[in-house]
């Protein structure tokens, strides 16, 4: 195991934060949206068979290849049947992704779309009509999915190991995002629960919850 990225003493325990060596892509989770990307060097997002953004938008909007519509018109038609957001990639000493674009025009650009059909939104939320408020909620969910994927691309996936007297008593992995608000906060809470359990069940100290990866 590599050296921890952060270490602290907390209530008689040592908390160590590590990069997760076997992080699972958030695109393997149960997502509301589908992330469609095109890039000549990287395989990004979800699997798809569209050879171009135009082919994707035509399929999503139900417009045939014979119809002479611009990309803006195709996107407008697609948005009538889906919640659709552009996705941008920044590629310079690492990868970053968002839905609003980056300031650097040389190392960034639109790389695809994240979307969910209105039919899928109705099914997910059990409604017959997608209101403006529900569309905005779906957009927020799609943005959050890209935030998680951005953290994964940037290597910001962590795990914690809790030790007491040099012995591991608990560990957990797969925290996506900044460790200060994720794995570290959870590790402190686990230590607090361990201490509370010891106060009620003598001899409970040292019983670990999960093992660290090999």
Name the DSSP letter for residue 172: E
* Structure tokens given for 210: 């999960």
Give me the mean pLDDT over the 64-74 stretch: 93
- Between residues 106 and 12, which one has the greater pLDDT? 12
pLDDT of residue 203: 55
Spans of all domains in the chain: 6-23+157-200, 26-153
pLDDT band at 99 (very low <50, low <70, confident <90, very high): very high
130-151: pLDDT as tens digits: 999 999 999 999 999 999 999 9
157-203: pLDDT as tens digits: 999 999 999 999 999 999 999 999 999 999 999 999 999 998 887 65
Q: With a cut of 50, say whether residue 105 has pLDDT above it.
A: yes
């Amino acid at each position: 195991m590599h050296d921890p990225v952060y270490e602290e003493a907390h209530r008689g325990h040592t908390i160590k934060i590590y990069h997760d060596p076997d992080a699972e892509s958030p695109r393997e989770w149960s997502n509301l949206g589908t992330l469609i990307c095109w890039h000549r060097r990287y395989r990004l997002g979800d699997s798809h068979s569209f050879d171009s953004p135009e082919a994707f938008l035509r399929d999503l909007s139900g417009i045939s290849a014979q119809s002479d519509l611009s990309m803006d018109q195709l996107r407008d038609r697609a948005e009538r049947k889906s919640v659709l957001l552009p996705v941008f990639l920044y590629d310079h000493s690492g990868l970053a992704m968002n839905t609003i674009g980056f300031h650097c025009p040389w190392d960034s650009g639109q790389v695809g779309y994240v979307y969910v059909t209105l039919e899928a939104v109705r099914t997910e939320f059990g409604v017959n009509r997608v209101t403006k408020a529900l569309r905005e909620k779906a957009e927020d969910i799609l943005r959050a999915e890209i935030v998680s994927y951005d953290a994964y691309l940037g290597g910001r996936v962590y795990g914690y190991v809790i030790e007491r007297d040099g012995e591991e008593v608990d560990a957990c992995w797969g925290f996506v995002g900044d460790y200060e608000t994720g794995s570290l906060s959870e590790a402190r809470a686990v230590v607090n629960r361990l201490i509370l359990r010891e106060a009620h069940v003598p001899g409970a100290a040292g019983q670990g919850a999960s093992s660290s990866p090999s």
